[in-house]
Chains A and B, each alone.
Chain A
Amino acid sequence: MKTIWKYAPWIISAVLYLLVGAAPFLAPYDPQQQFRQFPLQPPATIQFRDQEGERSWRPHFRLKASGFSPRHSEGTRMAAIDLWAESQPYSWLGLTWQARLFGSRDPSLPLLLLGSDRLGRDVLSRLLHGARFSFTIGLAAVLLSALAGVFLGALSGYLAGWADGLMMRITDVIFSLPPIFVVMGVRVLFPIELSPSRAYWLIALSFTLLGFTIFARVIRGQVLSLKTQDYALWAQACGASHWWVLRRHILPFTLNTVLVQGMVLLPTVVLGEVTLSFLGMGVQPPDPSLGNLIAEASTIPVMTGSPWMLWPAVVLLLAVFCFNLLADRIKGVEKSRRMW
């Protein structure tokens, strides 16, 4: 039992990333596909009984008629759930697929496992695709920050002198601003309406601008002390090149710090992207992100009338909590952390 608890954050984080990685295959529908007869539909209920009420090994789902769809107000309708259901062709992992993991057998009755939104789009599909956007952007920004930060930090610590001074003053400026303001400052430079892939890289790069400062500062400090170690000096005395000394005798010792900083940064970046999209500056509405899904659910009428739209918030909470626990585990000791 204790072991499970120990590894739970690891397992849940890995599962979350696998789920969002397989989002196109797992999601029963395209995130933008509308079922116009089923707006604000409550989640389907699943049962192992067929239309006649007989026990069946095949799961069936039942949709309640919502008040907004007069055409189907004659009570509830049922359909079977198919595994490997046929669908419109879509691409995933570089291949074109014609089927998704599960779907409805009756084409006129969509499988709305988590209900539908105001425009009749499947909340589960939007959630999976939105989380895919938000979670992978965090990973991309952390990797880019680590690369840029380690490179610049190592250089500035190793060379010292004016390059180091300039570097540290630049990070000072970025540190003096609230992080979200830096990202918004970069966002001002570009039009609000951007294609999803451009928005993706713009957001990833603007978080890199923030994240690299954290890596650069920590790595610089370590390199400053590591380069005066006897073995590094000795290697230099033997005629090793600067590049060799850095790569062989200094950088390997910073790996641990890089991992810790990366894990600390991950939830912050994911949350930052969600916040940005929530404010309407991230990916733009027809394309889902956890942020704009939460924004759609953030009014009182939606929260009280169709609470299933809040599932994205639940997923965000779970993910951020897990990533934070993971970071705490990796750190081992309580260190200071930056806040939004």
Chain B
Amino acid sequence: MSGFLFRRLRQTLLLLFLLSLFVFLLFDLIPGDYLTEMEMSPSVSAQRVEQLRAQYGLDKPFLVQYFTWLKAVLGGNLGYSFAQQRPAAALIFERLANTLLLGTAALAMTVLMVFPIGIISALHSGRWPDRLGSAFSMLGLSAPPLLMALFALYFAFASRWFPLGGIGGPRHWILPGLVMALPLASYLIRQLRLEMIDALQQPHVLAAAARGLSSSQIVRHALRSALNPLISMLGLVWGALLGGSVVVEKIFNWPGLGLLLVESILSRDLFVALNAILVSALLVIFSNLLADLLLACNDPRIRYQ
């Protein structure tokens, strides 16, 4: 186990290093730095600009600047939001909490949809419950989330059962959560169905059936082996949820990370935009790591590869 853990951690660290380099490269690629504007002003002398540039380390080579930046980021300093006049870190983590709330609601809805539909489809494969499940997942996968969100907004307006957006009690979570959950759930339903059909034909499940176990017990036996690929997909889940959150948060005016990203890009608030991307990438990378560790706990074969 420790060998596996070590290898996996080494991979993650390498990935983190490359990712931070990538984000810093983006910062560096933006034309001009923070003193370019000052250079053009007639009231600031050229020496003063040079002095400031040396003071802030902007005359140093790329790698030195990179490590200075990395040290600041590791210390929790993500720069300053010029649009909102406050430190970027506070802003980003406040919005991240909102997105995590919505994401968790969406995840709960996903689980509630995936297990019943996936298992029933597999048990009745080829018959009408399966057809219905397939149609559902086909619809969820090919309907663009953008249009689903717009439809949900219209539905909220027409039925008057749900608020039209914003953050608040559980009633505010339902529609945006559902729109985020549907593509994900459709994808996972397909996977679970295929895995369950496979698992139900395994010898140990047949043996359990032959001994006369009740169908719920048989499902439990099959589910354990069908679950592995799904656990490894848990890593994908947060990536998909975060990606989906951009559009959903924009349409439902949910003050989360996705909306923050959109606002900051449109108002050229660069620290916030790039660091929001960095933070969400960290979230995805760590959920991938967590998924792999969970998988290794559930399936001993993986540890000794």
Which chain B residues border A178 with CB–CB below 8 Å?
239-240, 242-243, 280, 284
Are the C-beta atoms of B284 and A281 separated by less than 8 Å? no
B146 in contact (CB, < 8 A): yes
A-B contact list, 5 entries, CB within 8 Å: A169-B18, A188-B265, A188-B273, A192-B268, A294-B147
Minimal Cβ-Cβ distance residue in A for B143: A317
Minimum C-beta distance from B277 to chain A (A): 5
Which chain B residues border A180 with CB–CB below 8 Å?
243, 246
Given that A281-B266, A298-B251 are known contacts, is A181 also in contact with B142, CB under 8 Å in the complex?
Answer: no
Are the C-beta atoms of B18 and A279 separated by less than 8 Å? no
Are the C-beta atoms of B281 and A181 separated by less than 8 Å? yes
A176 in contact (CB, < 8 A): yes
Are the C-beta atoms of B157 and A320 separated by less than 8 Å? no
B190 in contact (CB, < 8 A): yes
Are the C-beta atoms of B153 and A300 separated by less than 8 Å? yes
Which chain A residues border B157 with CB–CB below 8 Å?
300, 303-304
> Interface digits, A273-298 against B, CB 8 Å rule (1 contact, 0 not)?
01100111100000000000010001
Residue from A189, A267, A317, A337 in contact with B30 in the complex, judged by beta carbons closer than 8 Å: A189
A278 to B147, CA, bound (A): 11
Minimal Cβ-Cβ distance residue in B for A177: B281
Number of interface residues of A (CB under 8 A): 41
**A157-215: which residues lie under 8 A (CB-CB) from chain B?**
169-170, 172-173, 176-181, 184-185, 187-189, 192
A185 to B265, CA, bound (A): 9
Are the C-beta atoms of B261 and A278 separated by less than 8 Å? no
> Interface digits, A316-335 against B, CB 8 Å rule (1 contact, 0 not)?
11001100110000000010
B29 in contact (CB, < 8 A): yes
Minimum C-beta distance from B43 to chain A (A): 26
Which chain B residues border A281 with CB–CB below 8 Å?
262, 265-266
Which chain A residues border B247 with CB–CB below 8 Å?
275, 278-279
A340 to B243, CA, bound (A): 5
Considering the complex of A and B, which 8 residue pairs feature the smallest CB-CB distances, nearest first? Answer: A178-B243, A324-B142, A339-B240, A178-B242, A173-B18, A178-B239, A177-B281, A188-B273
Residue from A279, A317, A334, A336 in contact with B147 in the complex, judged by beta carbons closer than 8 Å: A317
Are the C-beta atoms of A271 and B144 separated by less than 8 Å? yes
A177 to B150, CA, bound (A): 25
Residue from B14, B29, B143, B265 in contact with A169 in the complex, judged by beta carbons closer than 8 Å: B14
B288 in contact (CB, < 8 A): yes
Seed contacts A169-B18, A294-B146; 10 additional CB < 8 Å A-B pairs: A176-B281, A181-B261, A181-B280, A184-B273, A280-B262, A294-B150, A298-B150, A300-B153, A303-B153, A316-B144
State the majority secondary structure of interface residues on A. Answer: helix
A188 to B230, CA, bound (A): 35
B177 in contact (CB, < 8 A): no
A317 to B141, CA, bound (A): 12
Are the C-beta atoms of B30 and A173 separated by less than 8 Å? no
Residues in chain A within 8 A of chain B (CB atoms): 169-170, 172-173, 176-181, 184-185, 187-189, 192, 267, 271, 274-275, 278-281, 294, 298, 300, 303-304, 313, 316-317, 320-321, 324-325, 334, 336-337, 339-340
Are the C-beta atoms of B26 and A185 separated by less than 8 Å? yes
Are the C-beta atoms of A189 and B26 separated by less than 8 Å? yes
B270 in contact (CB, < 8 A): yes
Residue from A304, A313, A320 in contact with B142 in the complex, judged by beta carbons closer than 8 Å: A320
Are the C-beta atoms of B285 and A176 separated by less than 8 Å? yes
B174 in contact (CB, < 8 A): no
A337 to B188, CA, bound (A): 11
Q: Which of A178, A184, A278 is the most central at the interface, judged by chain B CB atoms within 10 Å of its CB?
A: A178
B194 in contact (CB, < 8 A): yes
Which chain B residues border A172 with CB–CB below 8 Å?
15, 18
Minimal Cβ-Cβ distance residue in A for B190: A334
Residue from A169, A181, A304, A320 in contact with B144 in the complex, judged by beta carbons closer than 8 Å: A320
A128 to B190, CA, bound (A): 35
Residue from A176, A192, A340 in contact with B19 in the complex, judged by beta carbons closer than 8 Å: A176
Minimum C-beta distance from B97 to chain A (A): 18
Minimal Cβ-Cβ distance residue in B for A181: B277
Are the C-beta atoms of A278 and B146 separated by less than 8 Å? yes
Which chain A residues border B194 with CB–CB below 8 Å?
334
A271 to B141, CA, bound (A): 12
Residue from B19, B29, B187, B243 in contact with A179 in the complex, judged by beta carbons closer than 8 Å: B243
B133 in contact (CB, < 8 A): no
Are the C-beta atoms of A173 and B19 separated by less than 8 Å? yes
Residue from A169, A271, A313 in contact with B15 in the complex, judged by beta carbons closer than 8 Å: A169
